[in-house]
Amino acid sequence: EIVMTQSPATLSVSPGERATLSCRASQSVGTNLAWYQQKPGQAPRLLIYGASTRATGIPARFSGSGSGTEFTLTISSLQSEDCAVYYCQQHNNWPPVLNFGGGTKVEIK
């Protein structure tokens, strides 16, 4: 089983500053990595797929990078509406076992 580990658990960032979130896979997943945003009381929203492709309607301040076992989600200039929990998910193996990371909570400093 591929284990996804996210860090840090909580990230405090000042408005307008950069936020960098990390996700590590226990074995290579190529670029089969997605990022989701979840706000309180809401369903998750797909932000990034294929490690670096923004989903439809996602602002350009969100970017993803990485391959293999190390991945990064960057929010270039944090806005108040970006406060949420962010999850990574691998979708590399077959048959599918769509493991999620434990999440990173982003808050305004």
Q: Binding residues for other proteins, per CB under 8 A?
A: 32, 34, 36, 38, 43-46, 49, 55-56, 85, 87, 89, 91-103
Distance from chain centroid for Cα 19: 11
Give the C-alpha separation, 14 to 30, whole Å. 33
Dist CA 79 CA 44 (whole Å)? 18
Distance CA 4, CA 101 (A): 5
Q: Which is nearer to other proteins, 80 or 94 (CB)?
A: 94
| Residue 14 CB, nearest approach to other proteins (Å) | 26
- Residue 80, SS3 per DSSP: helix
Min dist. Cβ of residue 17 to other proteins (A): 25
In whole angstroms, how close is the CB of 103 to other proteins at the nearest point?
A: 5
Classify residue 81 by its DSSP letter.
G
> What does the DSSP 8-state code read for residue 68?
T
Choice between 37 and 69, CB closer to other proteins: 37
Smallest separation (angstroms) from other proteins to the CB of 29: 11
Q: Using the minimum distance from each CB to other proteins, give the nearer residue, 1 or 81.
A: 1
